[in-house]
Amino acid sequence: MATVSVCKYYPGGFSFDNCKRNALLEADISKLGFSSPAARKTGTTICGVVYKDGVVLGADTRATEGMIVADKNCSKIHYISPNIYCCGAGTAADTEMTTQIISSNLELHSLSTGRLPRVATANRMLKQMLFRYQGYIGAALVLGGVDCNGPHLYSIYPHGSTDKLPYVTMGSGSLAAMAVFEDRYRPNMEEEEAKRLVRDAIAAGIFNDLGSGSNIDLCVITKGKVDYLRPHDVANKKGVREDKVYGHPVTGSYRYKHGTTGVLTKTVTPLNLEVVEESVQTMDTS
Amino acid sequence: MSEELFPEPEWLSEEVKTGTTIIAVTFDGGVVLGSDSRVSAGEAVVNRVMNKLSPLHDKIYCALSGSAADAQTIAEIVNYQLDVHRPRTQYHRTFNKDVILLTSPDDNVVVKQKKKQHLHEIGHILNAFEFDKAWDRTVLRKIKEKVPHDLSIEVEDDPLVCSAATLVKNISYKYKEELSAHLIVAGWDKKKGGQVYATLSGLLTSQPFAIGGSGSFYINGFVDAEYRKNMTKRECQEFVVNALTLAMGRDGSSGGVAYVVTIDKDGAEEKCVLGNELPKFFDQ
């Protein structure tokens, strides 16, 4: 007696079958009457520039969930190691967790070597992890830091490719920010000039891209020192409502002058009530 | 309210591709590799100065095309695998007799023998020995016998270009369905001189010249007509630059600057030809 069974051969490596299933579901889901939950994305503009003594990283602070701003002041510049920081664009959860995982691994690595970690090491770790997940982790990162070989700046894409450049931008506002960089970047700038350039690039992204907004955060990394300026620039100040208009207080106040509404008739009807029970409960005000 | 009001630009989720034109040509005594420098994600250019000629070993380079992530990863893996062919001892070309060791870049201390011994014991130095600048490979081989067995030395000859190309081909073939990158491997070795290998989809073929990438379709006729056997180094470099210029002029996904690497028995020489220095062709 023979059993006829077909064993499915599972080749090694990750199985992305569920991703295909998800794609099919997404196509049909509107017919079923549901809507798929929108992941919170950091629509974003992030950028970085290498200047004379180090790197300056910049980011806006808006996080969107579909068309709604989920967080008006989120922090997109993540800590990797004392001398390396990373800005993240794409899905907020992915950038947050990826940078935390690599930060943790890098600390262990640094304790093992006994040396300050290098930016190239962080870059390798990030790109190998993102490549392993074939782009399904939606994290686009700008990695910058200063190590024993000087200042370095990398851009890392969700599929795992990286570029090492003197100035990079990422996110939905990256084209606007890159326009500013391409116009005004010079090698070996001074710190103030570099900070102004990054601030202006992020501002270009904030004002010309719907996915970016709110404030500008900067992070200046030099050999031995990190300045985390949050917020560096409050580009979008919330307006202050005027206190009084024509002498009447406006803000949240619904008190009107006596006589604002004219009284036409007045009727008083006494209600006859009997007192059934009267009890006193003392309140503990200690 | 629909998503059309705030459509996400397509290039945000597009995979980053190296649109590209790559070319490798053999000449009498070596090879010349050339590439453009544009990396695109959909319609946006994300890097306009990327050097797509990636070193696999001292005298073996590969040219990347296709998906940037896949191509970069393959090149890095093969580079790592070929590191086996590097002598494991650390030696500095500028030191004369003693290897001068500093415990940290900020220290200005010359380390003496006892300290070196201690550092080796606690694992801060993996392999080190003192050598004289005038020594060459044959002498190093003799030293091999005298060095303690826990300091492993592998003094090997440089790898063959064929070996490097085979490593690339193996990865390309095994993961054929998942990867979309094409690498052209070219270099110089003692056995066969300058060679060019194409590894498209896992095939391995040695050719006098090879072109690849989206821009290569526009210059197929040009290279077929203009290639001659046994060109000089100079002629070969000009041929490569002309081919790249013509392709960059017609292909939207290729552009930027031209990177040219010349490899012969003396080593590899990298050169970057800026946009305004490229040759001018009929351009109404």
Going by pLDDT thresholds of 50, 70 and 90, the confidence category of residue A37 is low
CB B57 within 8 A of CB B85: yes
CB B195 within 8 A of CB B29: no
Which residue ranges in chain B fall short of pLDDT 50? Answer: 1-6, 89-103, 105-106, 130-133, 149-155
Q: Do B72 and A157 touch (CB under 8 A)?
A: no
Cβ pairs bridging A and B (under 8 Å): 55
The residue in chain B having the minimum alpha-carbon distance to the alpha carbon of residue A140 is: B12
Which structural domains are found in chain B, ordered by start? 2-85+159-275 (3.60.20.10), 89-154 (no CATH)
Residue B269's H or E segment, with its range, is: strand B267-273
Q: Which residues contact B126 (CB under 8 A, 6 or more apart)?
A: B88, B90
Q: Does the CB of A162 have a partner CB in chain B at under 8 Å?
A: yes
What is this model's ipTM? 0.71
Higher pLDDT, B127 or A126: A126
Work out the percent of chain A whose per-residue pLDDT is above 90.
56
Q: Does the CB of B72 have a partner CB in chain A at under 8 Å?
A: yes
CB A174 within 8 A of CB A157: no
pLDDT at B44: 86
Q: Which residues contact B249 (CB under 8 A, 6 or more apart)?
A: B281, B283
Phi and psi, residue B51, nearest 5°: -90, 110
Return residues 212-271 of A near B (CB < 8 Å).
none
| Omega within 30 of 0 (cis) for the link into B9 | no
- Which of A4-8, A248-252, B5-9, B35-39 is least confident? B5-9
Could you give the 3-state DSSP secondary structure of residue B163?
Answer: helix
Q: Do B49 and A160 touch (CB under 8 A)?
A: no
Q: Which residues pair with B64 in a beta bridge?
A: B183
Q: Do A159 and B16 touch (CB under 8 A)?
A: yes
Residues of A within 8 A of B68 (CB-CB) are 157, 159, 161
The catalytic residue among A3, A42, A44, A222 is A44
Q: Does the CB of B7 have a partner CB in chain A at under 8 Å?
A: no
| Gap between the Cα atoms of B179 and B74, Å rounded | 10
| Gap between the Cα atoms of B157 and B140, Å rounded | 12
Residue A52 is encoded by which pair of tokens? 């004379």
pLDDT at B4: 44
The tens digit of pLDDT for each residue in A74-88 reads 899 999 999 999 999
Residues of B within 8 A of A213 (CB-CB) are none
CB B15 within 8 A of CB B179: no
The dihedral over CA atoms of B154, B155, B160, B164, expressed in degrees to the nearest 10, equals 40
Q: Within 13 A of B185's CA, how many CA atoms are on the CB side?
A: 32
pLDDT at B148: 55
The residue in chain A having the minimum alpha-carbon distance to the alpha carbon of residue B66 is: A161
| Gap between the Cα atoms of A37 and B18, Å rounded | 33
CB A211 within 8 A of CB A89: no
Q: Do A161 and B67 touch (CB under 8 A)?
A: yes
Residues of B within 8 A of A67 (CB-CB) are 1, 5-6
Q: Do A135 and B69 touch (CB under 8 A)?
A: yes
Query: What's the Rg (C-alpha) of chain B?
Result: 23
The tens digit of pLDDT for each residue in A174-193 reads 999 999 999 999 999 999 99
Q: Do A131 and B44 touch (CB under 8 A)?
A: no
Query: Can you give the three-state secondary structure of chain A, one letter per residue?
Result: CCCCCCCCCCCCCCCCHHHHHHHHHHHHHHHHCCCCCCCCEECCCEEEEECCCEEEEEEECCEEECCEEEECCCCCEEEEECCEEEEEEEEHHHHHHHHHHHHHHHHHHHHHHCCCCCHHHHHHHHHHHHHHCCCCCCEEEEEEEEECCEEEEEEECCCCCEEECCEEEECCCHHHHHHHHHHHCCCCCCHHHHHHHHHHHHHHHHHHCCCCCCCEEEEEEECCEEEEEEEEECCCCCCCCCCEECCEECCCCCCCCCCCCCCCCCCCCCCCCCCCCCCCCCCCCC
B9, B16, B105 member nearest A157 (Cβ): B16
pLDDT at B95: 37
Q: Which residues contact A63 (CB under 8 A, 6 or more apart)?
A: A40, A41, A42, A43, A69, A70, A71, A74, A92
Query: Can you give the three-state secondary structure of B32-44, one letter per residue?
Result: EEEECCCEEECCE
Amino acid letter, B185 = V
Q: Does the CB of A166 have a partner CB in chain B at under 8 Å?
A: no
pLDDT at B40: 87
Q: Does the CB of A88 have a partner CB in chain B at under 8 Å?
A: no
Q: Does the CB of B124 have a partner CB in chain A at under 8 Å?
A: yes
The tens digit of pLDDT for each residue in B190-203 reads 889 999 999 988 89
Q: What DSSP state is assigned to residue B283?
A: -
Return residues 23-52 of A near B (CB < 8 Å).
none
Phi and psi, residue A224, nearest 5°: 90, -5
Return residues 48-67 of B near A (CB < 8 Å).
49-50, 67
**Residues of B forming the active site:** 20
Q: Within 13 A of B193's CA, how many CA atoms are on the CB side?
A: 9
> Quick check: A279 pLDDT over 70?
yes
Q: A267 an active-site residue?
A: no
Residue that the structure tokens 């989120």 belong to: A74
Residues of A within 8 A of B67 (CB-CB) are 159, 161
Q: Do B73 and A160 touch (CB under 8 A)?
A: yes
Residues of A within 8 A of B106 (CB-CB) are none
Mean pLDDT of chain A: 87
Q: Which residues contact B19 (CB under 8 A, 6 or more apart)?
A: B38, B39, B40, B213, B214, B215, B251, B252, B253, B254
Return residues 115-154 of A near B (CB < 8 Å).
127-128, 130-131, 134-135, 138, 148
Q: Do A160 and B72 touch (CB under 8 A)?
A: yes
- Which of A51-60, A90-99, B274-283 is least confident? B274-283
Q: What DSSP state is assigned to residue B100?
A: P
Question: How would you label A207-245 residue by residue, b for 16+ Cβ within 10 Å and e otherwise?
Answer: eebebbbbbbbbbbbbeeebeebeebbebbeeeeeeeee
Q: Does the CB of B153 have a partner CB in chain A at under 8 Å?
A: no
